[in-house]
């Protein structure tokens, strides 16, 4: 399928080489966007760009690196002349660790990619929209860990709670100048990140058990999340900004405090 809601639009997707970013790039491309696939893994970014049905370029960049931000912005403009849509999705999970065991290095590493990376992406997006003299739309990838807590996931959930701070500040700044900013909060989606997490909490079966206890009784797919991202980036969401939309099979509304 080509054509659709993003015909004539240019979309930057970070972390586009795998998982949810790849799914998002695919969906946006299927609906007509020209895509800039940004990933720290150059081969993965190239693979995604090559498999999209529409025009796409791959850019190797670390979203946590301030200098790299200018590089992927310049690459997007060189390829397509402008950017209209951003999915700031790249993120890492870190490791499960009880609070007394969590190292400063691990804490900082996760914040650098997940928080500084999304801040730099937002700043680049707003600077681009300003240079273009117009608005646009941005989606941040949050998480069920933006809304809930876990005793051994401090670094990751701190970073994903920070996503909501970035979201609200950016939405309030962007509203009056025609920029909408929203977030999608996935639950469990089997991706490389998910597999790495599973490896630190008893393996695949534990994650399968978690997925089977969500209200919708299954894990999510990258396509489930991409559908929400595409909606939020589209004109169908023209009156929505500053919102976090959970796409988690209902997991975030379960009250576990019951007899
Ligand atoms: P993934 O590991 O499958 O893919 C992440 C991609 O981001 C990879 O291609 C990786 O190379 C890239 N990346 C990592 N660090 C980067 C950096 N510094 N700069 C540029 N690219 C970088 O992970 P995923 O599951 O697709 O996760 C994507 C986002 O979704 C993350 O923000 C994650 O926190 C969030 N999320 C995932 C789940 C899940 O269950 N999979 C749930 C909630 C939230």
pLDDT digits (tens, 9 = 90+) for 18-29: 999 999 999 999
- Would you state the pLDDT for residue 200? 56
In angstroms, rounded to a whole number, what is the distance separating the alpha carbons of residues 149 and 64?
25
Pocket of ligand 1 contains residue 189 by CB under 6 Å: yes
- Would you state the pLDDT for residue 210? 76
Pocket of ligand 1 contains residue 24 by CB under 6 Å: no
Choose between 64 and 96: higher pLDDT. Answer: 64
- Would you state the pLDDT for residue 206? 67
pLDDT at 159 over 80: yes
Lowest mean pLDDT among 12-26, 146-160, 189-203, 221-235: 189-203
Report the nearest-CA residue for atom 17 of ligand 1. 62
Average pLDDT estimate for 65-86: 96
pLDDT at 242 over 90: yes
What φ, ψ does residue 175 adopt, rounded to 5°? -50, -55
- Would you state the pLDDT for residue 2? 46
pLDDT at 31 over 90: yes
Residues 188-214 pLDDT 10s: 999 887 776 666 555 556 667 778 889
Q: Looking at 86, 156, 173, 239, which residue is catalytic?
A: 156
Could you tell me if 220 and 188 are in contact, meaning their C-beta atoms sit under 8 angstroms apart? yes
pLDDT at 17 over 80: yes
Strand 85-88 and strand 10-14: pairing? parallel
Percent of the chain at pLDDT exceeding 90: 85
Pocket of ligand 1 contains residue 89 by CB under 6 Å: yes
DSSP β-bridge partners for residue 244: 183
CB count, 10 Å around CB of 23?
25
Pocket of ligand 1 contains residue 194 by CB under 6 Å: yes
Pocket of ligand 1 contains residue 63 by CB under 6 Å: yes
> Is 156 an annotated catalytic residue?
yes
Which residue among 46, 167, 191 has the greatest number of ligand 1 atoms within 8 angstroms of its CB, and so is best to mutate?
191
Ligand 1 center–CA 30 separation, angstroms: 21
Please give the helix or strand (H or E) that residue 58 lies within, else none: strand 56-60
What is the pLDDT confidence band of residue 164, given thresholds at 50, 70 and 90? very high
What is the pLDDT confidence band of residue 1, given thresholds at 50, 70 and 90? very low
Percent of the chain at pLDDT exceeding 70: 93
Q: Which of 233, 244, 243, 226 is nearest to 24 (CA)?
A: 226
């Amino acid at each position: 399928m080509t054509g659709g809601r993003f015909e004539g639009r240019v979309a930057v997707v970070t972390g586009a080489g795998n998982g949810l970013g790849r799914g998002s790039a695919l969906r946006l491309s299927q609906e007509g966007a020209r895509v800039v696939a940004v990933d720290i893994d150059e081969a993965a970014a190239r693979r995604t760009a090559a498999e999209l049905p529409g025009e796409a370029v791959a850019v190797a960049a670390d979203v946590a690196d301030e200098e790299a931000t200018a590089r992927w912005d310049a690459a997007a403009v060189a390829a397509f002349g402008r950017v209209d849509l951003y999915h700031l999705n790249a993120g890492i999970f870190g490791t499960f660790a009880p609070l007394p065991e969590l190292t400063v290095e691990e804490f900082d590493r996760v914040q650098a990619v997940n928080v500084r990376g999304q801040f730099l992406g937002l700043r680049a997006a707003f600077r681009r929209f300003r240079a273009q003299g117009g608005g646009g739309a941005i989606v941040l990838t949050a998480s069920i860990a933006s809304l809930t807590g876990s005793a051994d996931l401090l670094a990751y959930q701190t970073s994903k709670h920070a996503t909501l701070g970035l979201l609200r500040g950016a939405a309030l700044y962007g509203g009056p100048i025609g920029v909408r900013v929203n977030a999608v909060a996935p639950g469990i989606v089997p991706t490389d990140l998910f597999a790495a997490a599973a490896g630190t909490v008893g393996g695949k079966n534990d994650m399968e058990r978690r997925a089977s206890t969500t209200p919708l009784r299954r894990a999510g797919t990258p396509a489930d999340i991409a559908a929400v991202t595409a909606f939020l980036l589209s004109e169908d969401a023209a009156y929505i900004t500053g919102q976090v939309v959970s796409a988690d099979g209902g997991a975030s509304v379960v009250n576990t405090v019951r007899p």
